[in-house]
A and B are shown apart, each in its own frame.
Chain A
Amino acid sequence: MSITRINIGPIHPSTHGVMRLVADIDGDTIERIEPHIGFLHRGVEKLTETRMYMQNPPYMEKLDYLAPMSYDEAYVAAVEQAMGIEVKERAMYIRVILLELQRIASHLFFIGTIGNDLGQMFTLFMWAYMDRDKVLDLLQEATGSRMFYVNMRLGGLISDLPPDFEERALNTLDYIEKRVREYELFIEKNPVFKERMKNIGILTPEKAIDLGVTGPVLRASGVQYDVRKNLPYYVYDKLHFETKILTRGDNFSRYKVRLLEMRESIRLIKTAFKTMPTGDAIGMPVKLRSPPTKNKISIVSREAPKGEVMMYLVADDQKPYRLSIRSPNFINLTAITHLAKGLRMADLFATLGTLDLVMGCVDR
């Protein structure tokens, strides 16, 4: 058979961003695939060096626009570490609650788009997006904005939770829990979904560790690694939740592990509301001159919905001297060159979809 080289993209509906793939195909089977990135590169790391510390969170949020708060929080935590600022206890709880709400919103988006990637146009997307809007409403109530929040301040937050937030949040979470069950039935009772996702795009645990993938993609391959459990930050070690792992490492496991994680997040938020102390949660106001830095180098590791985010900050007087971001999406993307070998053309997009990439974070 002869090998044909075809070009996919750079603008393709299946990717959450702009990416180009060059595929060598033999009939309908993929022999080799080469991702080309950089269509969204805007030099975030360099731009942060020209801004004061607390001018940077809005830039961090635009890295991963499906879970902006996770990145914002990781950066602010790095700055807090550099300045030796303690976070107030109530603020820790509120941060955990908001971050988990953000995780639910991000995974709901994944559930919505996986249907599109498999060619099941828009039913699942409509359902999931409707529920995501409900979670975004909660976040809007707590922070004042629908998509980009910028609510983290040094040592706390911009504001405490509004009154009656707990009641409304619990109502919404109960609703989401019911809907998660519906998604499960919708996808797992459907023979087409099962045929298209089971035993396709298998990533073995050894290979997953070699590639350095993190987050749900790693846990679907059967590796027990979650930053929230392994290197607990804030109050995650006091709250009750499990790290769900699945062993098969195929597309179906990668979908399923996210669904199970949503349930765990709901449980986590409920326990956090029960044990949340009263008190002050307001952080320092944004000033151009920030407190003097104590640590020259600070490294922060966080479990974002897509995987492990690390912020490596070398502090200067009033600005970051250097900020390096470990992007989970970039490293998860490298798995596609390995996974695509031997796949059918139509399954490539399902596999790409289950990696749940955000190109804004890949290109930076």
Chain B
Amino acid sequence: MTEEYTEEEFKIAKKEMDQLVYESLKDKDVKPNVMFAKTSEILRALKLSKGMIKWARVNSLWPMQFGLACCAIELMGFGSARIDAERKGYLLFRGTPRQADVMVVAGWVTKSAVPEIKRLYEQMTEPRYVVAFGECATCGGPWFESYNIVRGIDQVLPVDVYVAGCPPKPENLFEALMKLQAKISGKIED
């Protein structure tokens, strides 16, 4: 595709696309991504607008394959036959944080696991979202008085949606991701 453009035209297209992405994310306080800059030319060829990008983002939320404790079993239930999360575009559990949009923190967060979780979060490409799934990730849950527990993942990462329950049912995660979709598309505020 690059052959059809001269190098100068390509530069202009890239700059325009970056501007477009920057504007769409300006109010969200995040920087435009490197990945977008590389595909900017293709996007320009397809004449994608701001709304199109948002539409695509809302309807293909890919969670990261990342479980900590008990709630991870219900997270697996979310992907299994009964709930069938794929019909909403959620299910494609990614083994690498670089391909994931949502981090579902399922389980208690210990002090020794915090550096690893932070690192995984930083490896995710922007825009990235965090769902605190279950009591432990929300506030420490039954381990509130323990010496090795971080009382809620929100002390470490910015959380978008909280889900209560010990453990919440897979249906609750479904609802949480629908909330997250509404939040991304701007239907509900923070």
Contacts and interface: CB of A to CB of B under 8 A. Distances in A.
A296 B99 CA distance: 56
Contacts of B70: 62, 65, 147-148, 360
In this complex, the interface size class of chain A, counting residues with CB under 8 Å from chain B, is 20 to 34
B143 A10 contact: no
A125 interface: yes
Chain B contact residues: over half helix, strand or loop, or mixed?
Answer: loop
B33 interface: no
A146 B169 contact: yes
A38 interface: yes
Nearest to B169: A146
A152 to B, nearest CB: 17
Given A17-B69, A47-B143, A62-B69, A133 B112 contact: no
B146 interface: yes
Interface string A120-141: 0000011101100100000000
Given A130-B82, A133-B82, A148 B166 contact: yes
Contacts of B147: 43, 46
A201 B91 CA distance: 34
B146 A43 contact: yes
B81 A40 contact: no
B146 A47 contact: yes
Given A62-B142, A129-B80, A13 B167 contact: no
Interface in A1-50: 10-11, 13, 16-18, 38-43, 46-47, 50
B64 to A, nearest CB: 9
Given A43-B147, A65-B70, A130 B81 contact: yes
B4 interface: no
A283 interface: no
Contacts of B142: 58-59, 62
A20 to B, nearest CB: 9
Interface of A: 10-11, 13, 16-18, 38-43, 46-47, 50, 58-59, 62, 65-66, 109, 125-127, 129-130, 133, 146-148, 359-360
13 contacts: A10-B113, A10-B116, A17-B67, A18-B113, A18-B116, A39-B110, A39-B116, A42-B110, A59-B142, A65-B69, A130-B80, A147-B74, A148-B167
